[in-house]
Amino acid sequence: MPVTRSSRYQQGTIDQVKRSKGEDVWVYRWRETAADGSRVQRKKTIGDLSQFPTEKSAWQAIENLRAEINAAEQRVGKTTVADAWGHFQIHELHDPDVGRSPSTIYGYLDYFKHQILPRWGKICLDDVKAVDVERWLRGLDLANGTKAKIRNHLSALFSHAIRHELYTKINPISSVRQSAVRERDPDILTIKEMEATIATIGPQAIRVMVMVAATTAIRRSELRGLRWADVDFEDLKISLRRGLFRKKETSMKTKASRKPVPILPELVEVLFQWRTETPYPADTDWIFASPFTEGKRPYWAESALTDHIRPAAIRAGVKKHIGWHTFRHSLASLLGQNGENVKVVQELLRHATTRITMEVYQQAEQDVKRAALSPFSGIFVVPKKAS
């Protein structure tokens, strides 16, 4: 059975200290092992009462510091998953040289808080076994892709611990088996279903958003990050310079994702018309600026889906589940069904390789697959009964 946190783990203490001037401050005290083996008292001022009005809030403020202190104090192999996670947050998660996007960072924070730490937080790294992790993942009521992400995040934590000498064995997560294959194919919209849905969307800004998504395969964050200066109305293309995840701007990480996106002449007309009608038409304005923020931020993508796009699809009689990625999948699949060259489709979707395009994004409709079997119809010959 896995053992829990080593008895050498120390919480430290927090005291409220009076000052001759100004508000009282919170001071964190702990002990460290010096080079000669002696124990040395350390302290750190956390902040005053205006910053942290309660002792609980002061404890929360030094959570990562406490984890790092214990990671350094405990012998190799006895650092807990929670300790390693605290160390990971301080030294790697936000490291600009690593270049994780805000959405990736959010994913780490969310998966560790809600999935990994509740189960593994108090377990020593040395006691995390591949078979136990595999069994745990198998029991989670989550999609395969989500479980694969959790496994990968846990593996990254162990790689970090090995790199910083908090753990000296082979990464146990490297042998954890967890498929990322979808349990069901994503829904694909036909062109008629797209037309019917778009026709019943109320706000014009949302209608235009869907038209852009459906005909360019631009990702959700890239769609929100579009400014008017990004549209070249003469050369019929959009330059992708940023994404927008929640309130944070993201950069285009790969060479493929930074390539300009060609757009249809009809979309240029739609965008031009929308620019004449929106109250936010300046080059620096968001194309899909939200009136609820007076144009300071674009519409929230999820709100647009739940409040306008999905209800419009229901009104149009479309019973498929629609997300922003549905338009990207649909474009790839429809182009594939029309016999377009896979290299062209790859570049339109800005994938690094054609393998991703074919294996992940392209799928054929049942009618198309059935039609492909039509040459075999002649084998179904019913023998005549002897008279």
Residue boundaries of the structural domains of the chain: 13-61, 64-184, 191-369
Strand 39-48 to 25-33 pairing: antiparallel
pLDDT of res. 8: 53
Beta-bridge partner residues of 25: 17, 48
**Given pLDDT bands bounded at 50, 70 and 90, which one contains residue 77?**
very low
What is the fold of 191-369? Answer: hpI Integrase; Chain A (1.10.443)
More confident residue, 94 or 275: 275
CA–CA distances in Å: residue 121 to residues 5, 107, 118, 149, 173: 9, 17, 6, 18, 15
In three-state form (DSSP H/G/I as H, E/B as E, the rest C), the secondary structure along the chain is CCCCCCCCCCCCEEEEECCCCCCCEEEEEEEEECCCCCEEEEEEEEEECCCCCCHHHHHHHCHHHHHHHHHHHCCCCCCEHHHHHHHHHHHHHCCCCCCCCHHHHHHHHHHHHHHHHHHHCCCEHHHCCHHHHHHHHHHCCCCHHHHHHHHHHHHHHHHHHHHCCCCCCCCHHHHCCCCCCCCCCCCCCCHHHHHHHHHCCCCHHHHHHHHHHHHHCCCHHHHHCCEHHHEECCCCEECCCCEEECCEEECCCCCCCCCCEECCHHHHHHHHHHHHHCCCCCCCCECCECHHHCCCCECCHHHHHHHHHHHHHHHCCCCCCCCHHHHHHHHHHHHHHCCCCHHHHHHHHCCCCHHHHHHHHCCCCHHHHHHHCHHHHHHCCCCCCCC
Joined tokens for residue 69: 């202190």
pLDDT of res. 274: 93
More confident residue, 78 or 59: 59
CB 38 within 8 A of CB 79: no
Percent of all residues in the chain with a pLDDT value above 90, rounded to a whole number: 41
**Cβ neighbours for 146, distance < 8 A, ≥ 6 positions apart:** none
Give the burial class of 70: count Cβ atoms within 10 A of its Cβ; 0-12 exposed, 13-18 middle, 19 or more buried.
buried
pTM confidence score: 0.61
Of 161-170, 178-187, 232-241, 369-378, the one with minimum mean pLDDT is 369-378
In this prediction, residues 5-24 reach a mean pLDDT of 76
pLDDT of res. 187: 85
Superfamily of domain 64-184: Tyrosine recombinase, N-terminal domain (1.10.150.130)
pLDDT surpassing 60 at residue 49 = yes
More confident residue, 378 or 200: 200
**Cβ neighbours for 91, distance < 8 A, ≥ 6 positions apart:** 160, 164
Q: Give per-residue pLDDT as tens, 105-120.
A: 889 999 999 999 999 9
pLDDT of res. 275: 95
In this prediction, residues 312-320 reach a mean pLDDT of 93
Please state the φ and ψ torsions of residue 40, each to the nearest 5 degrees: -115, 135
pLDDT of res. 359: 58
* Residue whose pair of structure tokens reads 């002792």 in the numeric block: 55
